[in-house]
Structure 1
Amino acid sequence: MNNELISIPKAILATLLYLIGIELIGSWVLIAEMIGFKSYYKYYLLIQGTLQLIGVLIFIYFIRKRNFKNLIKKTQRKWYLFALVLGISFVFMQTPLKWIYNLLFGTEYYITYRFDGLPKFKNINMISAILMIPIGEEFFFRDYIQNNLQKKLNKIIAILLASLLFASIHSPYMNLILESSKENWHLFYLTIFGGIISGILYLKSKSIGPSIVFHMFWNIMVYIV
């Protein structure tokens, strides 16, 4: 096998294990029901996101040989500014992306920009949606997957592969497990482009920090709009 391809199956396997890990972590719901924690559904995303982040940090800790030193490397402030602007504007970029998706698949997705989502942030679960989940996903898919792919592959190919793997966890994979599941590929499609932006930020800034900021504000704007 070509040496440049060795990291690809490893990256795919790691993503599969990540996905399995997410589903296994979700089994805390069964424990909550067993111990009579009847209000667990009110904090579902908060608990799930916290457990996912802990799992990723444990993984990163051992991958880095039990060291968290320079976990978020210093970079120029301009990259954080770019990340902020791109995170806020990505929701608007999705309009032409949806036009293309609708043209290709004969769907009718569109965004109505009402900007009425601020009340959603009163829900404690939003902490997970805009903080814990983005941090965990960026550390895994950018700082681990993309970082390792970049060492053996062309940088553009590494970004594209990492973005596809990132999008894969947002794919309708449950359709393969549950007959009742009727999800589509819309979120997978959009997430590819978000992953590419995040990947470019990671490559150019040489730090995971801007990628996390981009992902956080991307999620914030999704809820606001």
Structure 2
Amino acid sequence: MFHSKRIAAAVLPALALTTGAALAECPTSIADTTDSIYVTFNDFHIRYELLSDGTVMEEETNFDDGSGFRVNSLRGAYVLQSWSTQNGMIVPQTGEATTWAVGPVNLPVLSAGQSWSGSTVRLHDDGARAVETVTVATQAARQTMIGTCAYESWPMVVTTSPDDGTADYIDYLTYLPSLGIAIYHGGIQEGEQFTRDEPTSISTEPPLQGETGYLLDGAAPMPGNPTPAAPPGQPDPNK
């Protein structure tokens, strides 16, 4: 699934954690993103990693069949490249590269309650080319809970308008400025009914298979400790 999302934003401190939430369980800063942050939903999880060039690599994996996507963006906001994946591997001929007319270094840093529009060209691996106008709008800052973790957040709507007159595509996200990532809730073609995906937990540790009842179809249970092999016997001098 291709995501036409995102915008970069300045870093703000996270709100205090709720009572009872252990500090180790809640990522608190962009420094945590360098070691990867995992956000879990009902049917999938997303891994966010801050790369050395300042961009974020976002990888989704669905629990049922291992399908997903990989998105490289600036601070989880401006999409630069995307691919479909299967079991963590890129599916051939699914890549898309987005070129921003203003250039990556000139993409504006937005704050809560602001908006920006810019022109893009999206080129697919098969040669298909789309010229679009992307409009990003952030709402006023608010507190967001992800599991037991509390964050300052900016609700964000990204509208992609194709130049061929077809319907706009609207993406819904929540930007967490303290972590530099955008939580993707889903998107729709204008006029369609929207069902929002909400995260259930966030951590610097990856989800464990079966930890919250998730098991991939056909997956074998996690093995226990193996039975130790018998110690070697004395060599037989007749052999």
For normalisation by structure 2, the TM-score amounts to 0.22
For normalisation by structure 1, the TM-score amounts to 0.23
Structure whose residues are more often helix by fraction? 1
Q: Specify which structure has the bigger relative contact order, considering alpha-carbon pairs within 8 angstroms and separated by 6 or more residues.
A: 1
Larger Rg: 2
Structure whose residues are more often strand by fraction? 2
